[in-house]
Structure 1
């Protein structure tokens, strides 16, 4: 019995050393979680059950428990390095099998799918037409590899201050080539047709003989689009006509083969004050085609493709998964875990919501191994091993003494 108990102690100490060795070996493994060997005592039973004065039969390894504490978040500057600051696991799919990881060192494959080093694809909620995400299903995250398509301009926003002391131009009729036939101009705004080709839209402001009244002439690439529009202000300089501040231009057909360009000019907020003209704000809602410049990820896990034309396209929202009992997860190697009955059913959601952590882009979660603690554990396990080995040696001497009795 004593030999068996001491042997179990040696086995337990050896298991403790193995766990400590594995922890130390993974001290630099991204997303690694420290394990701890847990033990329980053994008692031999008889047909009459346990005796109140029974002596234990040794020890056994009852569990190797993973410690899912938060690791340090180390910045890397790499776009596809993600760290979870808080609870949850990245959800990945490999050959149809769903697995979970805390290691965010992802990379693109030859088709643009974002994968782990061993090829598991990162799962995201797909974007929908409303601008949000379809949380009812997940897809593989695939980076955009094509150009961003152009967007035709439909609206030009122009906010100006026209001089209240202006008088009607002495040169008439209006001629855009003659600066004496108008009082001010917008200076030209770049707009885009359906092919992403740029054009220049210019508005000219001409004071009429009537008080607080102006005419606005609109041109695209030097061609007048529509008749002049009358603009009126009240005695305090506020815009009163057109009532909604919007001037509709006639359709313009570009010579590029693009579709008809239908523009409206919004001068809401324009005023009539002072002695000089001021262009206070100008904007338009179109853009040319763009090249992919970078991938960006928000703390809420939304993955954006950003283009050279200023367009941002949401590719998906990273899916995080959590469990009632993370220690019940089955480690499968390669920084992966699988759900088990002991872990409970997986519960998925978006980052930075409910009890899920935030996503830190350009950073990785470091291993939770504390080398100092592990080296102390190693010394303790080594002493336990030596003590049990010495116990066997002592028992051997006692047994030899008994055998030698004559």
Structure 2
């Protein structure tokens, strides 16, 4: 295969992957707690035909050499955990994290997942759960006769009950943080799980040790910037078109040689 065809093929593949990443960002522009993805590229190995610094004679040294690149690849995608806008919902069980940290969710298999999505509800047992039915960890149970649920910035949950004049403490919501949040594995449902790359979770009280505070009656919107994604989409489309033109131009060169030699 002609080298230019192979190089442009890698370019087409890389831009196609970037477009898929942009598409996913735009699809989740209204997903609560969503963090945008960014594709990262690396150039491939080089064919060294003349070594830089090699001797071209007894006292002559090559200043640059001859190195031919073999293309590009997508080396990974990374989540950008910048703060999304806080939107007021006035729902007592809606929570937003103002700052760093994740809320803990107990999965059916007993493992802990992590989320920035604070859209919580009550199940039939009075437990605070996600829209998918997974319980908040540590578990918060709200009595049937509870009213005026209050969640403090430090995660303290209280409520007024019919048989108690003073508010009753229902529990404490804690947050966790990671040394490398970009190392978390997204598992869908606005959830992440820890990996060796993310490090172990460090649990603490909201507002302390670098953790953000909790804001009741608010949710964190997606941090996707639509205008930025549209600009990225246009530049990606142009890069794809340019790589396809390389394929077309190389094909015309090969066709010229085929038709005029022989």
| TM-score calculated relative to the size of structure 2 | 0.89
Residues 50 and 75 (structure 1 numbering): CA distance in 2 closer, same or farther, change over 3 Å? farther
Residues 49 and 367 (structure 1 numbering): CA distance in 2 closer, same or farther, change over 3 Å? farther
Match for 1:26 among 25, 28, 31? 28
- Give the equivalent residue in structure 1 for 2:69: 56
Per the TM alignment, residue 50 of structure 1 is displaced from its structure 2 partner at its CA by 8.0
Match for 1:110 among 119, 124, 149? 124
Match for 2:157 among 298, 303, 326? 303
Distance in 2 between residues matched to 1:382 and 1:310, nearest whole Å: 64
- Give the equivalent residue in structure 2 for 1:37: 39
1:345-395: CA deviation from partner (whole Å, max 9, x where unpaired): 111111111101000000000000000000000000000110000110000
- 8 Å contact 1:44–1:50 — kept in the other structure? no
Matches for 1:72-91 after TM superposition, within 5 Å: 72-91=85-104
Distance in 1 between residues matched to 2:230 and 2:22, nearest whole Å: 8
Distance in 2 between residues matched to 1:21 and 1:361, nearest whole Å: 32
Aligned: 1:99 with 2:113: yes
- 8 Å contact 2:50–2:66 — kept in the other structure? no
Distance in 1 between residues matched to 2:45 and 2:91, nearest whole Å: 55
Distance in 2 between residues matched to 1:329 and 1:389, nearest whole Å: 35
Match for 2:6 among 4, 7, 14? 4
Match for 1:315 among 170, 173, 193? 170
**Structure 2 unaligned spans of 5+:** 53-64
Per the TM alignment, residue 118 of structure 1 is displaced from its structure 2 partner at its CA by 1.4
Match for 2:216 among 361, 365, 375? 361
- 8 Å contact 1:94–1:119 — kept in the other structure? no
Aligned residues: 245
Residues 389 and 321 (structure 1 numbering): CA distance in 2 closer, same or farther, change over 3 Å? same
Q: Which moved more, 1:17-26 or 1:304-313?
A: 304-313
Q: If you compute each CA radius of gyration, which structure gives the higher value, 1 or 2?
A: 1
Per the TM alignment, residue 49 of structure 1 is displaced from its structure 2 partner at its CA by 11
- Give the equivalent residue in structure 2 for 1:210: none
Question: Secondary structure of 1:55's partner?
Answer: strand
Distance in 1 between residues matched to 2:9 and 2:134, nearest whole Å: 42
- Give the equivalent residue in structure 1 for 2:17: 15
**Structure 1 unaligned spans of 5+:** 125-139, 146-290
| TM-score calculated relative to the size of structure 1 | 0.58
TM-align CA RMSD: 1.7
Question: Secondary structure of 1:403's partner?
Answer: helix
